[in-house]
Structure 1
């Protein structure tokens, strides 16, 4: 089986070298970029995951993240010294699948890379054969086998790995209130911190994609003090 190909984008050569040695020891193929200047060309080389620093010297890491997301749905893990909450939120809002603050432990990076790759490849075990069948709701079709979402007009709606997994979780638990901690447990196991706000940001992004009015969401409702509830008018599995 061919190993996963990971692109490391970081302006610190020591960080790149440390990550490269660690990941190559685990069997991954590695490419490097110091500033993400040729990111679109790099993605055409069959990249399976990108680790991205936000502080790229003169370059803007968030701009690089946006360019990646415009060109591809490849998973992105932000690894950066910018640990402020606002930087974390903005990073997730532009489509990152996970966020690790420097200084970091290499074993944590490995665990998160494995988790994101596992989710993006759809290798998580299904609870039953029916789990692979498409789910239709209010004109949308969510296909777990292809990991795709089609809108009422039949057009494909691009989703990040995290967004797809969250929407699938909602669809499989329709009309059930799920609090944020429960969602994180179901999606990521132990690969998260108590202050992780990625679920809230992914919900906000999903609403932009499937809600008619994000100010008055009809499909993904906030239950004050309790969590979120997926409430389609019609759902077929």
Structure 2
């Protein structure tokens, strides 16, 4: 606008206005200068407002982003809380079931312990009774062993007596055989020596009577020995 005013003044002076500058030339420049200040302020204010608006918009966008992120985190936290609550509820129910199971198992074990204790006491009483029975049996066995030892000693003694009786019987048999041989010799002598027959008849008769007596005595001894052996054998068995 100042350039347009200068051009107008120049045209006026060139057209023959007497070479004089108009009076309004200086005030126009002053007004132009005064009118340019508000536009600068407006421009600065517009820039400031624009920058401020952009900053506010950017801050708003950043705030919106943070708000969305916060909402997302809150949603995640709510979901985690819900899952945790469900897990805690489920875990609590499972723990309660497990505790009930343990309590039931403990009661069962307690009942089993009582039954086992009763059975152990019964077994202990039976064991003590059997121990007494075993002790009595051992005492009886010791007594039987002593009796067997005594019987073995008696059997040995009886066997010795039987052996002695057998030897005695054999001795009697030998004596009888010797006497029989003697009688036979005497008889043979009596046959061969008829001259001595009359003298020896008395002796032969005496010998025969002696042999008869010895034979009777032998039979009696044998009978007594046989009876004694039988009695000994019966006592052994």
TM-score by length of 1: 0.13
Structure ranking higher in strand proportion:
1
Structure ranking higher in helix proportion:
2
Flag the structure with larger Rg: 2
TM-score by length of 2: 0.13
